[in-house]
Structure 1
Amino acid sequence: MAIYHLSAKVISRAGGRSSVAAAAYRSGGRLRDARQGREHDYSRKGGVVHSEIMAPANAPEWMRDRDQLWNAVEAVEKRRDAQLAREIELALPRELDRESRLELLRGFVEREFVGRGMIADVAVHEGKARDGHGQPHAHVMLSMRELIGEGFGKKDRSWNAPDLLVGWREAWARDANRALERAGRSERIDHRSLDVQRAEAARQAERARESRQDDLELEHEKKVVELSREPEPKIGPSAYAQEKRGIATERGDAFRAAQARNAQRQEMGWRQLELRLELRERGRAFVASARERLGQLWERAEGAMSRIKERVMGEVERPQGRDGDGRDERGDLDQRRAAVLGREVAAPEQQRPNAGQERAAPEAPDQDRRNAILGRHRDTGQERGSGRDRDRDRER
């Protein structure tokens, strides 16, 4: 798996360091520090496969000599805590051959550093990683002062901008991935933090799950498990040398503890992934079985309804009439159909026995009410006869 690593640090005199000693160690050569009056010899150091100095076109020729370059840097810096050089350390893709890695490195250094006016002292190391495979990486020491004529001028503070380092990290990932693509390799590197990469892989797995892309979902889920780790601390050259001699160091212990936690986290992640996949498959099998049973029940129900409709329609098409008891067969059929279909049929309206006969209207009560109000009595035949008799008696 391709590994991303790009770090930047400053080589400072405040820590008792020397740019001449650092250049000698990284290049695997022998240099004399004129300021300290010491010689630094690392010519027997193994693992250095390439070293060179890359400088802008306007740089004087003497600056391409490693010994003169860094002794000039030591001479121009007067402060006891002076910043002498910036070092960029980056991992080279082991998936590329040596020539391809060197071509990739040169292109990156030329564009990002030399193109801005820096002088770059480049050294390529090939060590052995913890997994037993090669661990190619590069050390790039950079000057921090601008070039003026035949020497150094003021320090360029713009080279210290944090955004510039972010741009270098992004550019290295982009260049390395393009080189891997040209070489026909599928591996890629990512300059972002583990947390950001893990969150993105989880979102991609969720989108694949929603679109029912099982293979793509599994690929992203595996990536989530692989990224569920904490950064492992760097041991450093001194501690690493002691560890190789069998001497346990504090940095070595911290590194091994982080490795153990990551191994435990990875094992738990793989188990959880296997469990989720098993539960998902079981759930899908259950849903498929339930759908099949429901489909069979639905077919049976449809068949029963079809038979009922055929029987009802057959009865409807038979000749209709009255039976021996005088009942209407049509009415009985409607009731049976309503019972089968779960409907209500209004009962036929029965005719009343006295239907059609007019009822005699009662006498209008209007005259009686008027008489009662006016104090009159109803003029009946008897009352009219009694009145005539009284009239005759008066006449007599």
Structure 2
Amino acid sequence: MASTNGETDQVLVEQRSCGRIFMLNRPKQLNALSNVMVSRLLELFLACREDSSVKFIIVKGKGRAFCAGGDVAAVVRDIKQGNWKLGAEYFRKEFTMNYVIATYRKPQVSILSGIVMGGGAGVSVHGRFRIATENSLFAMPETALGLFPDIGASYFLSRLPGFFGEFVGLTGARLDGAEMLACGLATHFVESERLPLLEEALVKANSSDPVVISTIIEEFSHAPNLKRNSAYHRLDVINKCFSRRTIEDIIAALEKVVADKKDDWISSTIQSLKKASPISLKISLRSIREGRLQGIGKCLIREFRMVCHVMRGEVSKDFVEGCRAILFDKDRNPKWEPSKLELISDEMVDRYFSKVDDGDWEDLKLPINSNLPAYAIAKL
């Protein structure tokens, strides 16, 4: 593999006759997206977009993870040093990359073997083809960190069947490869031992036609069975409860179901919600609901405003506290503030969705991308 000119080769690039393979290369950090990686990936996607010799792109991760998310530890350090803008600039660049991927003309094949969380979903789910394996583990765990599902998640979560996206985004539920395929987060399921043969077949085909690429992937794919205890089998109760208007209503609906009949899965779902940051739950639900009616560009612009308010910490400092409890001290005992849902007013939630009141600060400006394919135009 040819190395990059980036710091410690955090993204490896393999040049094949008609395609490019980008390998995320921070295996010890589960390929968490550093600022260097985001910059490099954005640069690579933009360069390949203009290169007529590149017909498709494969993205994968080295080691046991595809990508465990954004490197939020570095962002928290910036906030603690009184420089929220530095942390926010990381998200500005990341969200720009998400938009470039979502509106890309050339087919992207993401091989989602291992852990796919947070920012890892942003590098992959917006692309055309997403291949899950028996090793895949997907989650959007942001509400447990005092954040919210970002990277355009309000766009793709809100488009999962029924209210499954609300369930995944609010609880941080973990999904395996079969569940990713069933709900549409993945487009195909391929056993990991067959992935090298699939890569070779894609290179040999020498095509940028999505129909040709899809046909090749399907030759290696099969539909796995969902486990008996899969959350996807509970879509009826998820739709019944997670369609409610507020977090309080969702929890009350779940508690009513479990009061009528003991159910360990519902009990653990309630516990996940009660452990999460109350302000994160409130803004996450509103974000996903707004995402149902918005294209990917509007979702990312809104989410960038939200993330800036999280960085500033003027309503709540739960992001710093959540990272302390989960990532740094690892006591898993965050002290949320506000500590209860009933202490959060509509005005507090509204502030996360407002323009940042800072004369020097700009909203997210997305690049203009001409000659978009029809599937990408539908996202705008």
The TM-score normalised by the length of structure 1 is 0.21
Name the structure with the higher strand share.
1
Q: Whose relative contact order is higher, 1 or 2, with alpha carbons under 8 Å and at least 6 apart?
A: 2
The TM-score normalised by the length of structure 2 is 0.21
